[in-house]
Structure formats: C-alpha cells, structure tokens
Amino acid sequence: MTQPAGASDAPGPGALQPLLPSDPSQLAGYRLLGRLGAGGMGVVYLGRTDNGELAAVKVTHADQADQADFRARFRREVEAARRVVSPWAVPVLGADPDAPEPWMATAFVPGPSLGEAVRGHGPLPERSVRILGGAVARALAAVHAAGLVHRDVKPGNILLAVDGPRLIDFGIARVTGETGLTSVDMVVGTPGFLAPEQAEARAAEIGPAADVFALGCLLAFATTGRPPFGSGSLDALLYRTVHDEPDLAGLPDALLDLVRQCVAKRPAERPTAEEVAARLTEDTPGAAADWLPAPVVTTIAARSAAMLALPAIDATAPGVAPAAPPKPSRRGFLLLGAGAAVLAAGGGAYALVNSRRDKAGEDGKAPAPKVPDTWAIGLLADLSGPAKEIGQAQERGARLAVEQFNAIHKGKPFTLQLKVSDDRGDRGAALAAARRLTTDPAVVAVLGPTSDDTGQAALPAFDEAGLPLLTVSAGYNLLTLRDANTTVLRAIPNHIMAGTYLSFATTLLPQVRRPGVLQERTDDQYSWQYTGGIRFGFKQAGITPHFRVVPGRATDYRRIIGEMIDAGIDAYIHCGVRSTAVLAARALTELGFTGPKFTGQHVFGPAFLKEAGAAAEGWFVCAPVVDPVQRAADEKQKPADRKAVQDFLAAYRKRYGTDPAFYTGESFDVVNMVTAWLATSSAKGPLTRKGLWAALRAQKYTGAMGGYEFQPNGELKGVGTFIYGVENGAYKFIGGAPGYPNKPKTS
C-alpha cells in the first residue's frame, strides 16, 4: 500500500472506507473494493484482480495529471519503484503514467504501519527491532544499488507483515545526485526522520547516507516509542535535527552504538545500509509471525480476515441523498442539557447580578435585578505542586488586594471574595480546576494560571464561559497569539519576546561577540520559544551565536559545555529549566569559564540560588517580575510610583509579617486593575462577563509594580523584562532589559 500524495500517513486496511459516487468501480483490470486513503494529489484504492490478488491502486486527480511537472514526478515514482528489487520493498504490479488519470498498483500488505503498531501497542522488543532494521536496511541497500535515494524513510512508510516488514512509497525518491525536479532550497522528507543535510536543503549532499540517518531514527522510534528528535513544530524539528543530540535513552546496549552511528551529523561518519544490515541480521522472519509481538500479529490477522470477507465489489456510498437523522443518544441529550444550563446561567453573557429578584410590585411590572451582595475574583494556581512557591505568592498578592478593596469600600457597592482553585501544577487536573471557577456565577475574572502547561489545558473552560483570565507568570505564546483571543490578558511578555529582550541585555556587555546558546528540551515549548527569540535578537544585533541543543535527559554538562567552550564562546546563555541550569552552572565553574552567564524565567527564583550554591555567583537572570523591596528603595522613581510600592510593601508586611516574594506584587496589581474597573463601572448599570475582557484590555493601569497596557490581542505592551545579577547568594536588581540591541562596534 502506498500513500496518496499529500497524505502524511494513509490509513491502514483496517480503516477501509466505502467508494464514493464519483469513484470508478474498475480500473485497468482491478475491481476497486474501497478507499484506503486520500490526499490532495490523489486516492489509494484497494483493488482485486479476477484471480483474487489484492493491490493498493494509487490514482492521481485529473487536475494534477494536467500539470506536466506532476506527471513527470509520477512517472519517476513508478520508474524508481520498478528499479528496486528486494523482498522487503513492496513491488509494482502495474502502472500507466500516461493515462488520463495516472495510476500505479503495488502489492497489498494487510498489516499496520510501524507507526500504527507502536502507537497502538507500544515499542517493539529488541529482537523485533533487529529483524525490522535488518530487513529495512536490506531494502535500502537495494534502493541504493539501483542508484536511488528514498528520502522519506519513516514509520508510516514501513508496513508490518507476517513474513517481515515492507518499505513503501517512492514518491519523492530520486536518482543519486539528481536535483532537476526539486528546488535546491526545498526541504523534502518528513521532519523528525530526515538527515541534517535534508533539513538544511543541502541538495548536493543528499545521498544514501540520508536514508541511513532516517533508518537510525526509525530504529530509535521502534525501540522507545518516541522520535529521537522529539515532536512539535516544523521549525523546531528541523532545528533540532541540525543542532540537537538525539534522545537515545532506553535503547539496549546492543543497538545503541549502531543507532548513534546512523544518526551522526556528518554523512561520511554513517555506516552504509549494507553494513547496518550485516550488524543487525541474526535471523530472518521467514514465513512465521513470531518475529512480532502478539498484539501486532492479532491486528494483522484481523485485517487479513477482513480482506478475505470482502464481497466481489462494494456498492458506492449514497450520493447526495440525505441520511435519516439518527435517534437522539443519551450523550446528545446530556450535551443539550448542559447547553441549556449554560444559557440559564447566562453563559458568556451572564449578568453579574444576583439571581434573586425583588417580587413584582402592585403595578405588575417585572422587578429590576438586584445588585449582588458578593462578587468574586478567582485564582487558578499551583498551590501544592512543583510551582507552589509562585502560586502561593500569587494567592497572597490577590488576597491582599481583595481585603484592601473590602476595607476601603465596606460593602459598597459590593463585597468582594477570593475564590481559589488549586490545579496542583497538573495538566490533567487543570481543566476541572478551571471549571470550578468558570461555572461559578459570582466569579467575574480569574488570576492565573501559574504555568504554561496548566494554562493550555484550562483554556477551553474560559473560552466556553467568556471569562477573563489574567496571567502574571504563563508566557506560552499561543495563550494569546491565537485566532480571536477574547479570554487571556498576559501581564508579562511571552517567551519569544522575553528571549529577544534577554539577547538585547547580553549586548550591553561590549565583550560579547560569540555567545553560546544552549537549548535543553525538558520543557520543550519554553526552551524552543526562548531560543527563537534569542536567535532573532542576536540577528538584529549583528551577532552570530554558537547554538547547541540537548535532550532533557542529558546530564553530562561538563562534556557538553566543554565542547561549547572549545568552539570559542565568550558568553553562555541557558534556555532551559532550573535543574539543568544548576548542572550548567556547576560545569562552567569546574571548567573555569569566566565569561558572563545568562538565563531566563524558568530558572529565576530562590531555588536556583540554593541548589547551585557558589556556582550561581555572577549569573544574570532575566525575569518578568520586580522585587518590591528593591523597587521601594529606588529613589529614581516618580514620587507617586514610589509611594504606591511603599504602601503595598507596608500593607503586606502588616498582613503577613514578612517581605513579599516574587510574583506577589504583580498579582496584587492585576487584581486591583480588575476591582478598580468594577468599582467605577458598577454605578453605570449591570455588569456582564461579555465585554469585560475587552474593557480590561483597553485600560492603561499603573500599580505598585509599574504600568500595564495591552495590545489588541491581549499581549503586554512594552518590554516588561528585568535583569538581576547574582551577588553574594542573592538577586540584585539591575534594571529593565533594553527594548533594542546594542550593536557591536566594528574596528
């Protein structure tokens, strides 16, 4: 079975779909029994000959066939597949590239792809991987002997059969050294399973070694269940492929060295496909199925039985005649009931008035709504999990703001409460924790979340309720940078902007010319976004950094950073979490590195100072928060601004008997921004959740910790990133990060 052009992973035969009215019933001697998959370029059908032989028949769309370059590519695919002679490559049974709708038939394999098998049943045992790798390596050796490069060796292009695996899909294969039908700057292949020379579109370097690199990635995936360069956005995968060390944790010793050699960055350092086959082959599957785990064999058996039970030809699916409406299910009833409940409560447009109403007067007119006695600010935070120090600081700041509001207003126009929901820093618990607040009709807005992960998981609850969510610590860009955001206001820069400002801060030091940037992937979204911002910032400054990427499981930081020092770095920037920054700090100290060291938000906090100890000295840490104590002592501020932070500091010390932690002051400010708007607007009539986000977004608010102004999409305007230096085991506030780079002077 080959994939339809444009499809990333065609469905397996277990997902056979009926023919559509527009589909042919026969093609070139094949009776078409159903659809195996479809993409933008064509359709793959399951076909059967008169003698019962099954085939995957790939047919291109007529509009594609009219394009001369597409027909040439299809012809090349047919020719490439026919040139490969191997028991482990799916053979071509017939083809006609010159037909009005070009088609090609290949032998049908009634088994799942490697990707389906691993996703459905978990990684394969070592023996299965060795047999799999040996067979695929021999198929690739045949490809290379035919003068071809496959260029798309991935789990979706390996089918598992009882008697062994099969390599499929020669749609982007090309003759070694050929570039005629592919742009020289076009990345061709599947990110995560392509070689660095493919990732950087170095066409002249793409040869058989690129397939061996992909084979190494394939073996790692089959053994561990995860791609060695992770997952995520296209740009992130391409970047890691070039700069990252593969994540090979979990590979048995017998496979580790071979896989590591296969995924070497330089093509010349990789073994040939023949060498891989020789090192992997201990036995062959023959005709037995015992080379695969039982659950995979069961899947193959079930699909084979389904193929045997197929009729002579399936009827096509009905045309445009409307299907009879299904009977209402209990699920549909429950969904309808939930929707009715939301409407009854007012949903996103719930009026912030008490559901109690005055009895109708003697004139019979409907009573006016009564203003509620109590409204609430919600707090969604990690109060007992990994980020509990930040969550607890946010709770204290929010509670102080609520208490001050009630003391000043004394129940007029209303009394305010703080309603708290602890998500424990657990992504799986975040949505339920959020809904405890969003379904409470008294809650007008919510402060939170503490972290990026819980924010992403909780976001649907706020979108459903139309309830504003204001965060002072979650910097993930897609909380706000998404279509029609009307939910989130971010009172700190997103991670991309924070990384940009960090790079600008680095340029304040004139000696920095070759900074080293380490991206470690424990928190992949944070580190990738931070690195992206840093890359942009240094580009603006005319500085070329040395980049290095490592898996989150990496622990040998002495070796990693030693290699960066050997590459000539004069500054070090850590894009990662606190635990790995501690490892980096110790390694830099042991190696005697004397250049400046920078890091960002996910490292900032007292735990880094405690865990790194003396190795933390001299680090610069950029964070989106201000130390209230140092801000109160800053005589350069305007008198009104300084008084505001001093009043906050005095009130906090009186309430809690200690100085506030980081993130407390910003939480205090954001809650005050909401309550100030409520107090001013309540006199103008009933308030609603609908429109509240837009009203808050339009504000220009100045609080104890500074000013807050937002862009139309809910992002913070301005820089909002601050620099701290570690001195004598404590953070010393240096100032705000610059909003533009200092370009190095040329001599």
Q: Is the pLDDT of residue 701 over 90?
A: yes
In the chain, how long is the greatest CA-to-CA distance? 97
Sign of the Cα torsion 59, 62, 63, 65 reads positive
- Identify whether residues 158 and 25 lie together within a single domain: no
pLDDT at 147: 87
How many other C-beta atoms are found inside a 10 Å radius of the C-beta of residue 85? 11
Is the pTM higher than 0.75? The answer reads no
Q: Of 279, 300, 321, which residue is a domain's last?
A: 300
Angle between helices 253-262 and 273-280 (to 10 degrees): 180
**Hey, which of 2-11, 20-29, 362-371, 507-516 has the most confident mean pLDDT?**
507-516
Residue 91 CB neighbour total at 10 angstroms = 14
Asked if 392 and 382 touch (Cβ cutoff 8 Å), the reply is no
Residue 138, pLDDT > 60, answer yes
* Domain identity same for 137 and 213: yes
pLDDT of 591 reads: 98
Q: Is the pLDDT of residue 249 over 80?
A: yes
pLDDT at position 28: 82
The CA distances from residue 260 to 206, 216, 246, 267, 664, in Å, are 19, 7, 8, 13, 47
Where among 300, 334, 351 does a domain terminate? 300
Overall average pLDDT of the 674-700 stretch: 80
What does the pLDDT read at residue 504?
A: 96
Domain count, the chain: 4
Same domain, 379 and 485: yes
Alpha-carbon dihedral of residues 158, 162, 163, 164, nearest 10 degrees?
20
- Assigned domain for 475 exists: yes
In whole angstroms, what is the distance from residue 33 CA to residue 45 CA? 7
Q: Is residue 536 part of a domain?
A: yes
Residue 4, pLDDT score:
30
**Helix ranges (DSSP H) in 575-691:** 578-590, 606-612, 628-632, 639-656, 664-681
Give yes or no: residues 393 and 462 share one domain.
yes
Sheet of strand 469-471: strand arrangement: 415-422, 374-381, 443-447, 469-471, 488-490
Lowest mean pLDDT of 232-236, 370-374, 410-414, 621-625, name the range: 370-374
Is the pLDDT at 321 greater than 70? The verdict is no
Say yes or no: 85 and 123 in one domain: no
pLDDT at position 350 is 27
Q: Are residues 471 and 500 in the same domain?
A: no
Output the domain CATH number for residue 52.
3.30.200.20
Residue 17 DSSP code: B
> Which domain does 156 fall in, by range?
114-300
Please give the pLDDT value at position 289.
Answer: 63
Instruction: Give the 3-state secondary structure of residue 546.
Output: strand
Instruction: Please indicate, yes or no, if residue 22 is contained in any of the structural domains.
Output: yes
Residue type at position 4: P
Cβ partners under 8 Å of residue 294, min gap 6: none
Position 329 pLDDT exceeds 70: no
User: For all residues of the chain together, what is the average pLDDT?
Assistant: 83
The residue among 460, 452, 451, 332 whose CA lies nearest residue 385 is 451
Assess whether pLDDT exceeds 60 at residue 503. yes
pLDDT for the residue 14: 44
Q: Is residue 327 part of a domain?
A: no
How buried is residue 155: exposed, middle or buried, by Cβ count under 10 Å (0-12/13-18/19+)?
buried
Q: Which helix (H) or strand (E) holds 552?
A: none
3-state secondary structure of 691: coil
Q: What pLDDT was estimated at residue 645? A: 95
Write down which residue in 263, 283, 300 finishes a domain.
300
Asked if 500 and 610 sit in the same domain, the reply is yes
**148 lies in the same domain as 247:** yes
Radius of gyration of the chain (CA): 31
Percent of the chain surpassing pLDDT 90: 55
Asked whether residue 45 is domain-assigned, the answer is: yes
Task: Say which CATH number the domain at 664 has.
Answer: 3.40.50.2300
Average pLDDT over residues 263-272: 96
Domain-located, residue 431: yes
147 and 293 within one domain: yes
Instruction: Please check whether residue 743 lies inside any domain of the structure.
Output: no
CATH number where 147 lies:
1.10.510.10
- 466 and 537 belong to one structural domain: no
Q: Are residues 485 and 514 in the same domain?
A: no
> Does the structure show a pLDDT above 70 at 346?
no
Strand, helix or coil at 164?
Answer: strand
Distance CA 442, CA 439 (A): 9
Q: Is residue 464 part of a domain?
A: yes
Co-location of 37 and 151 in the same domain = no
**275-318 tens-digit pLDDT:** 999 999 755 555 556 789 988 988 888 887 777 666 554 444 44
Q: Please state at what angle helix 253-262 crosses helix 208-224, rounded to 10 degrees.
A: 150
**Contact assessment for residue 56 and residue 166, using Cβ atoms and an 8 Å cutoff:** no
Nearest Cα neighbor of 197 from 241, 261, 137 is 241
Please list, in sequence order, all residues whose beta carbon lies within 8 angstroms of the beta carbon of residue 617, skipping any fewer than 6 positions away: 726, 727, 728, 729
pLDDT in tens, 377-390: 999 999 999 999 99
Residues belonging to the active site: 152
